[in-house]
């Protein structure tokens, strides 16, 4: 049989290993980041020197310390030469007083195509894609936005915190966490899988329950 063809990575897949040229030099993704026990966010933007992308890079840069506190590295990407990336970084620093602290991949199209980032019907332009990858190299979240809508960086941080909390707590995370309208910053206990556990749930002092299948508790750690 021939070699298995790999499609666009999905949630739960391993992020494909690739050698990339960046503004910080050559990198091997995701290994250069995940081998250090760190999380990785790879995100694409349509092009350098475009208005919405500039607001996004400013947003990522000004929150860079928050990502670092969450043990997470950022790597940007667009189908532009490294020289354009460098010049755009200089423009942002000179005009917006913001230094871009993370690397940007200079792609000729192969990386974006491999990750499903090429905008349909828009030539070599990339969509606003986000891949959140855990320290095991597994894709945990994928977000796609059209060219005309900028991303919400605070939501990306919230989703990252939620993932890390879910892993640490062995629980699920409610809508709008940590400000859920029903249970605040509590986490959701995995539903009971047998009759005995379902009955015990409603009498347990460890959980608060709306019903046996909807129980929650404070975070343990």
Is 209 among the catalytic positions? Answer: no
The first and second tokens of residue 80, run together, are 């532009």
Which DSSP string do the residues of the chain spell out, in sequence order?
--PPPP-S--TTSBPPPEEEEETTEEEEETHHHHTTT-EEEEEE-S-TT-HHHHHHHHHHHHTHHHHHHTTEEEEEEESS-HHHHHHHHHHHHHHH-----S-EEE-SSHHHHHTT-BPTTSTT-B-EEEEEE-TTSBEEEEEEE-TTS---HHHHHHHHHHHHHHHHHTSB--TTTTSBTTTBT-EEPPPP-SHHHHHHHTT-SS-EEEETTEEEE----
* Catalytic, out of 20, 29, 33, 53: 53
Tell me which residues are annotated as active site.
53
């Amino acid at each position: 049989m021939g070699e298995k063809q790999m499609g666009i990575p999905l949630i739960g897949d391993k992020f494909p290993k690739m050698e990339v040229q960046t503004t910080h030099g050559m990198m091997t993704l995701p290994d250069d980041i995940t081998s250090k026990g760190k999380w990785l966010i790879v995100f694409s933007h349509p092009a350098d020197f475009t208005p919405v992308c500039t607001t996004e890079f400013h947003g990522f840069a000004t929150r860079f310390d928050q990502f670092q506190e969450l043990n997470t590295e950022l790597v940007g990407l667009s189908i532009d030469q490294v020289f354009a990336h460098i010049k755009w970084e200089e423009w942002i620093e000179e005009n917006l007083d913001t230094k871009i602290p993370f690397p940007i991949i200079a792609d000729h199209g192969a990386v974006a195509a491999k990750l499903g980032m090429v905008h349909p019907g828009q030539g070599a332009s990339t969509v606003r894609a986000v891949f959140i990858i855990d320290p095991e190299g597994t894709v945990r979240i994928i977000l796609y936005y059209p060219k005309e809508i900028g991303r919400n960086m605070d939501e990306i941080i919230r989703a990252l915190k939620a993932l890390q909390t879910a892993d640490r707590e062995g629980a699920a995370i409610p809508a709008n966490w940590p400000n859920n309208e029903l249970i605040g910053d509590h986490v959701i206990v995995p539903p009971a899988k047998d009759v005995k556990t379902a009955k015990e749930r409603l009498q347990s002092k460890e959980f608060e329950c709306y019903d046996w299948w909807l129980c929650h508790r404070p975070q343990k750690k």
